[in-house]
Structure 1
């Protein structure tokens, strides 16, 4: 067998050693240069579609969501065949069809129908997503004897190629101690996961309340990071309190946040843009 000249052999061996390093450097460079993927998220208490003008108009709610450009939405106070107040409509299904989005529904109140054969009467929260919802689970939160049942709805989805966990809740409005227990349960239920996480909802408390700081010790408050002004969301006519929140884990980078002006509900929706890397 013919031997390669010594100089040529050294050159070939040198190239073989350089190629893996160059490949790894290129891969690292590619990772650094990969553009961040934007995501828009909304939390909106829709008051079963009834506006401050007394008009029930689910189409108006749909337009607010549509015009926001949100990819992932947490809704509170959503009726499904609940009563005459919302014309017995399956609101999450209607909104999902109207907006061409995927949805999941969490019934925190679940009553039998008024007449045999009719759908159950339900009231709770919903998640809308532009991408399929891979898994969904609702866990009932602590309730005092005179309280209304609340829950934590958790959806997992993949957006822009990244797995996300999206938790949506509506804490009680009239009992501080009960609300604190609910917030502690939310923190317990969501603990330990490394999946990028959003915790959104109508939390019915101001940012300095113990129930809110229980959560913001774990997740970052988007409005506090990138919002401008007080971020008041309630009541719609004369907003004086920030009680609707978008919280996120450290793997998510917020860019901007705003509260939208509308009379479609008794709460104003809060929406924010994030970068996923």
Structure 2
């Protein structure tokens, strides 16, 4: 009887294992939000309002742009990344674009996550500084990468903020830099951020070979009150399935956030 029981258990394992492998994946809700340094469309600084808007997305991982950390009076010199993480009960990685002496006034992007952040890196990409006269394109930090374990699926999430100026050449260089960084990583990838360009812009064209637009029908995101441009994007690698996505109406910033429901495989 013991031998028969062992054989039956082995057969049961063989029968169940393929079904587990064929499971549709782990659900992951991703968002991107340019928080305008904690100021709403009304230009009033209110980090509680920002936190409430982020919380209402019910996202597992959120990429944030225009984040101040002890930057200046406009945001009352607070650590916005740290305070938002505490208010929302999330892990955080902050990737400064600028870190100015003598008091480490910082401005950049951040990633909030309900899942522990296993690794994080602040990559350099081409930038045209807003802090120096007569700037020239040069490598600078502020391209965030984190790896999170989504119930057994290890996902790379990247948050970016591309150049806002009319000349597309800097954004084109930034896209090339980002794709070089993504190419070094394996597994599911999600790139989010404020691209300051519509998906159809020529300078973003190179994105759409290794990645795809996760929210083509989500609606415009900027300006928040009456948006006309879709410049806040969520993009995913081919091994990530998209269940749905939308831009969320709120004036807690001058941009609307975008949220997408994804499935990622182990």
Task: Give the equivalent residue in structure 2 for 1:159.
Answer: 150
- Indicate the SS of the match to 1:233: coil
| C-alpha displacement of 1:147 | 6.2
| C-alpha displacement of 1:23 | 3.7
* Correspondence for 1:187 among 154, 179, 184: 179
Task: Give the equivalent residue in structure 1 for 2:90.
Answer: 101
Task: Give the equivalent residue in structure 1 for 2:74.
Answer: 85
Task: Give the equivalent residue in structure 2 for 1:212.
Answer: 204
- Whether 1:110 and 2:99 are equivalent positions in the alignment is yes
1:224-273 residue CA offsets vs partner (Å, 9 max, x unmatched): 2xx35xx2111112211111100011221111111111111111100011
User: Looking at CA atoms only, which structure, 1 or 2, has the larger radius of gyration?
Assistant: 1
Where does structure 2 lack aligned partners over 5 or more consecutive residues?
A: 129-134
Contact in 1 for aligned 2:214/2:234 (Cα 8 Å)? yes
Task: Give the equivalent residue in structure 1 for 2:214.
Answer: 222
1:4-32 residue CA offsets vs partner (Å, 9 max, x unmatched): xxxxxxxx9x9999986664333113333
Whole-angstrom distance in 2 between the partners of 1:30 and 1:238: 46
- Whether 1:50 and 2:39 are equivalent positions in the alignment is yes
| C-alpha displacement of 1:120 | 1.1
The Cα RMSD (Å) is 2.2
- Whether 1:29 and 2:13 are equivalent positions in the alignment is no
Contact in 2 for aligned 1:96/1:103 (Cα 8 Å)? yes
- Indicate the SS of the match to 1:182: helix
Whole-angstrom distance in 2 between the partners of 1:64 and 1:236: 13
Contact in 1 for aligned 2:122/2:141 (Cα 8 Å)? no
- Indicate the SS of the match to 1:68: coil
Question: Higher strand fraction: Structure 1 or Structure 2?
Answer: 2
Contact in 1 for aligned 2:37/2:66 (Cα 8 Å)? yes
Whole-angstrom distance in 2 between the partners of 1:238 and 1:147: 33
Contact in 1 for aligned 2:61/2:111 (Cα 8 Å)? yes
| C-alpha displacement of 1:180 | 0.3
- Whether 1:172 and 2:163 are equivalent positions in the alignment is yes
Following TM superposition, the consecutive aligned residue runs of length 4 or more in structure 1 with deviations greater than 6 angstroms are 14-19
Contact in 2 for aligned 1:150/1:171 (Cα 8 Å)? no
1:126-176 residue CA offsets vs partner (Å, 9 max, x unmatched): 000001111111112113425695631101111222111000000001030
Whole-angstrom distance in 1 between the partners of 2:253 and 2:150: 28
Under a length normalisation based on structure 1, what TM-score does the superposition of the two structures give?
A: 0.85
Whole-angstrom distance in 1 between the partners of 2:9 and 2:46: 63
- Whether 1:143 and 2:127 are equivalent positions in the alignment is yes
Contact in 2 for aligned 1:200/1:247 (Cα 8 Å)? yes
- Closer, same or farther in 2 for the Cα pair 1:52/1:30, shift >3 Å? closer
Task: Give the equivalent residue in structure 1 for 2:57.
Answer: 68
Where does structure 1 lack aligned partners over 5 or more consecutive residues?
A: 1-11, 114-118
- Closer, same or farther in 2 for the Cα pair 1:193/1:146, shift >3 Å? closer
* Correspondence for 1:248 among 213, 236, 253: 236
Whole-angstrom distance in 2 between the partners of 1:140 and 1:29: 42
Contact in 1 for aligned 2:212/2:236 (Cα 8 Å)? yes
Whole-angstrom distance in 2 between the partners of 1:17 and 1:96: 51
